[in-house]
Amino acid sequence: MQFVDEASIIVEAGNGGNGCLSFRREKYVPKGGPDGGDGGHGGSVYLIGDDALNTLIDFKYQRFYKAQNGQPGMGRQMSGKAGEDLHVKVPVGTTVIDEDTLEVIADVTEIGQVVLVAQGGRRGLGNIHFKSSTNRAPRRTTPGTEGERRNLRFEMKVMADVGLLGMPNAGKSTLIRAVSAAKPKVANYPFTTLVPNLGVVKLGTHEHFVMADVPGLIEGASDGAGLGLRFLKHLTRTRLLFHVVDVAPFDESDPVEAAEAIIHELGQFSPALAELPRWLVINKLDLLPEEEREARVDEIVRRLGWEGPVFRISAISSDGTEALVQAAHRWLTEQRRLENEDEEAAERAREMRARMEEEAVARTEARLGRKRKRSDQDDDDDFDDDDFDVEVEYAP
């Protein structure tokens, strides 16, 4: 399936219908008064949050959305029909940005949430309105006004609960494959994952959480156009990070140095993310002889000065992965319960999300600014990094 998380569209509201210039003409009433009716209001364009959508792909195919014009007024005091409003469905988790001012118009976070994005034009008045004691045959009418037209940019977040960090080749995609229906590409070379990997981890029939890969989060990536940058927005609801460490990298690099580089990078990339609870997930234990495993894990934990939870897994054989996702699910459930019961905890969580949101928006704006500069020089530079083919099943 194609996963598209950015799109640009044009919305145009309907014009108001013009007022009508007309006089009554009837048998035996040779000079009837004015009877030109009003136009109808133009239809407006609204967005509406829909949880059945989880990609912006539709907006790649249809980019122009117009609500109906109001009809003009008519004689015999008849008003024109109002134009119908247009409701455009967008995924819950869509941020709506005015592409010209870069102002964030709205965050669609609720199912059924309605956002006005283009106001319909006002109706014009018919000459019936302009009759007065001094002018009994007014020829004056007003035209309908134009409907609002706007260039919009959508940015969608899938809102993962758990984020995966780790060096390229650490086994993040393999882990997602092991615990969800998502089947991202796995290969024995770094940077296999160039697009967001999302997996819905199911526990029982109703319970699930969303796990997301953060591609390209490596040393130095945060100050360049790292791949992870454009993915940051999917992590604003993340409450927990798994730091996946390859216990025996094939290039014989030091797992501890690699882990430290990731931790450093995380702080550069997003200070708010860096403050999230993090679990150490030591992967590829199957590569070590059984009797060496404990000592190697202990050494990594000690040298890192790691005090948080540690999990030992082999993503490829799913050893330990069930215990890991069960623990994460229990932890997430507990966090939500705490936030429901404890106002202070809820406040802290809100603050954290707001900070992540701010960072994501700031990065987005910086990136849009860069893009704008580029496209000033080169006009058809419209479709650069917006399209992704992702082998991800995202269907809870």
Can you tell me which of 40, 166, 226, 255 binds ligand GTP, judged by CB under 6 A? 166
Query: Shortest distance, CB of residue 17 to ligand GTP, whole angstroms?
Result: 57
- Rank residues 98 and 286 by Cβ distance to ligand GTP and give the closer one: 286
Q: Residues 154, 59: contact at Cβ < 8 Å?
A: yes
321 binds, among ligand GTP, Mg ion, none (CB under 5 to 8 A by kind): none
**Of 53, 139, 43, whose CA–CA distance to 94 is shortest?**
53
Q: Can you list the alpha helix ranges (DSSP code H) found in the chain?
A: 58-61, 172-179, 255-269, 271-274, 290-304, 321-341, 343-377
User: Vertex 325, ends 343 and 4: CA angle to 5°?
Assistant: 85
**Separation between Cα atoms, residue 372 and residue 37, nearest integer Å:** 46
Query: Shortest distance, CB of residue 172 to ligand GTP, whole angstroms?
Result: 4
**Of 5, 96, 109, whose CA–CA distance to 57 is shortest?**
5
Can you tell me which of 20, 170, 229, 392 binds ligand GTP, judged by CB under 6 A? 170
**Separation between Cα atoms, residue 213 and residue 202, nearest integer Å:** 17
What count of other Cβ atoms lies within 10 Å of the Cβ of residue 110?
10
What phi and psi values does residue 10 have, to the nearest 5 degrees? -115, 130
Q: Is 193 annotated as a binding residue?
A: yes
188 binds, among Mg ion, ligand GTP, none (CB under 5 to 8 A by kind): ligand GTP
Can you tell me which of 142, 314, 321, 364 binds ligand GTP, judged by CB under 6 A? 314
Q: Is 368 annotated as a binding residue?
A: no
Query: Shortest distance, CB of residue 160 to ligand GTP, whole angstroms?
Result: 15
Footprint of ligand GTP on 184-243 (CB under 6 A): 186-188, 190-193
Sheet holding 6-12, edge to edge: 64-66, 6-12, 149-156, 94-98, 104-108
Kindly determine how many residues on this chain lie close enough to bind Mg ion according to the rule CB under 5 A.
3
* CA distances to 95, 182, 263, 335 from 7, in Å: 11, 24, 32, 33
* Binding window for ligand GTP (CB under 6 A); candidates: 47-55, 150-158, 166-174, 363-371: 166-174
Q: Is 213 annotated as a binding residue?
A: yes
Residues that bind ligand GTP (CB under 6 A): 166, 168-174, 186-188, 190-193, 283-284, 286-287, 314-316
Please state the residue numbers annotated as binding site for GTP: 166-173, 191-195, 213-216, 283-286, 314-316
Please state the residue numbers annotated as binding site: 166-173, 191-195, 213-216, 283-286, 314-316
